Amino acid sequence: MNVNSRNTRFGVGNSSAAEEMQRSIARVAPFPFPVLLQGETGTGKELIARRIHSMSGRSPMVSVDCTGLSGELFASELFGHERGAFTGAISARIGLLESAGNGTVFLDEIGELSLELQTRILRFLQEKEFRRLGSNQFRSSGCRVVAATHQDLRSLVAIGRFREDLYQRLQVLRIVLPPLRDRISDLRELIDHFKLKHALNFSLDQSATEALHYYRWPGNIRELENLTIRLGVMHSNSVVSFSDLPSYVISEITESSYNAKAYPSELENLSSLHDCSLKSIQNRHILEVVKSTQGRMEEAASILGIGRTTLYRKLQALRSSAHSCGYCTSSSCTGAV
C-alpha cells in the first residue's frame, strides 16, 4: 500500500473529531517516541498508524498482529531466533525489530499479549535492546513502536492483565480514534472516498442518506466501506433508496427501534401531565406517534408536521440523552428533544 495515497483517508473529514485526530497525528509523527492508538474495532487504527509512519520520514514499516501468534512464535516473529532455539527452529531468523531498522513497528491489539511478552517489549522501549530467542547477545534497533488496541488498557491494568509500567510508557502519546457515530458529518465524504477507491458508481437519494446518518454503525468505518462496496455492486449506476439498504439497517431504523419494546416503560409509566414541562410533553407525543405508525418514519413525520430529517435528529437526541425517557420530572432528565 502507498501510505501517502488517499487510502489513509480514514482520518480525514470536516467534523471536529476528525480534525482533532489529524492535529494529533501531525503533532506526534516527527518524534521517535511510542504511540498508542485506542479505538473501537473498525475505526481504522492501522491506517492511522500508516499515516503516522508516512509523516515521520521513517522507512520501512512492518506490522504484527498480537492476536495471531502464541507466546513463543510471537517472540520469534518480533525478536528473531537462533538455530535450535526451539523445536522447528532449523535456521536463524531475523525478527521484525531488527528488520525494521530505523522504521516503524506496528503492534496491533497489544492488549492481547501475555505478561511475559509485555515485559520484553517494555525492556526494548526502555533500552532499545533485545535478544533473539536462544541468544545471549543483545542487539539494538532504532525503530519506533506504534501500538493499537480496541480494549481499555487501564481496566486491564486494574485486573492484572496488563503491565502498568508498559501502559504508562505507551500512553504518553495516545490518540483516541472516534467511532463513526461521533463523526457522522463525515459520512458523505467517506462514502465518496470509498466509491473512488473501489471504482464504484451509484448515488444515494434523500431517504437513504438520512437513514445512514441515523444508523449507529457498530462496525464503524470498516462497516461503512463494506456497505459502500455492497451498494456499488448491487446497484451499479443506480440511485439507492431507503428500501435498497440492507435489512439490518432498515430494521434498526424502523420497527425494531421504535416499537413498544424499544421503550418498555416510558409510554406506560408516565407521570401525570401536570408534572411535565412542555418539552417533556413534546417528547412523549413524538414517541407515541412513532409507535403508532410502527416505526414508519415518513408517516410519523407527516403526522407531526416536521421533516423526516428533523424527526431522525430528535429521536437520535432522545436516544442518546442521559435520562432515556426524556419527559419525566426527574432532575437527571436532560430534555434532549
Q: Report if residue 325 sits inside a domain.
A: no
Number of domains within the chain:
3
Same domain, 35 and 167: yes
Q: Which triple of cell numbers denotes residue 93?
A: 531468523
Q: Report if residue 1 sits inside a domain.
A: no
Same domain, 94 and 201: no
Q: HEC states along the chain?
A: CCCCCHHHHHHCCCCHHHHHHHHHHHHHCCCCCCEEEECCCCCCHHHHHHHHHHHHCCCCEEEEECCCCCHHHHHHHHHEECCCCCCCCCCCEECHHHHCCCCEEEEECHHHCCHHHHHHHHHHHHHCEEECECCCCEEECCCEEEEEECCCHHHHHHCCCCCHHHHHHHCCCEEECCCHHHHHHHHHHHHHHHHHHCCCCCEECHHHHHHHHHCCCCCHHHHHHHHHHHHHHHCCCCEECHHHCCHHHHHHHCHHHHCHHHCCCCCCCCCCHHHCCHHHHHHHHHHHHHHHCCCCHHHHHHHHCCCHHHHHHHHHHHHHCCCCCCCCCCCCCCCCC
Same domain, 14 and 143: yes
The pLDDT-based confidence of 236 (bands split at 50, 70, 90) is very high
Query: Is the overall model pTM greater than 0.85, yes or no?
Result: no
Same domain, 92 and 122: yes
Q: Report if residue 297 sits inside a domain.
A: yes
Same domain, 166 and 184: no
Structural domain ending residue among the three candidates 176, 208, 234: 176
Same domain, 161 and 100: yes
Assign residue 241 the CATH number of its domain.
Answer: 1.10.8.60
pLDDT of the residue at 320: 59
What residue numbers bound the domain in which 28 lies? 6-176
pLDDT of the residue at 311: 81
Per the model's pLDDT, the better-predicted residue between 116 and 301 turns out to be 116
Q: Report if residue 337 sits inside a domain.
A: no
Assign residue 46 the CATH number of its domain.
Answer: 3.40.50.300
Same domain, 126 and 81: yes
Same domain, 312 and 207: no
Q: How far apart are CA 250 and CA 230, in angstroms?
A: 15
Angle, CA 90 vertex, CA 89 and CA 93 arms, to 5°: 65
Q: Report if residue 112 sits inside a domain.
A: yes
Q: Report if residue 334 sits inside a domain.
A: no
The pLDDT-based confidence of 278 (bands split at 50, 70, 90) is low
Structural domain ending residue among the three candidates 125, 160, 176: 176
- Weakest-pLDDT range from 25-39, 57-71, 316-330: 316-330
Provide mean pLDDT across the span 254-281. 50
End-to-end CA distance of the chain: 45
Same domain, 219 and 293: no
Same domain, 73 and 161: yes
Structural domain ending residue among the three candidates 143, 176, 209: 176
Whether the Cβ atoms of residue 110 and residue 149 lie closer than 8 Å to each other: yes
For the chain, the average pLDDT equals: 83
Same domain, 125 and 45: yes
pLDDT in tens, 188-232: 999 999 999 999 999 999 889 988 988 889 999 999 999 999 999
Q: Report if residue 336 sits inside a domain.
A: no
Same domain, 79 and 205: no
Q: Report if residue 29 sits inside a domain.
A: yes
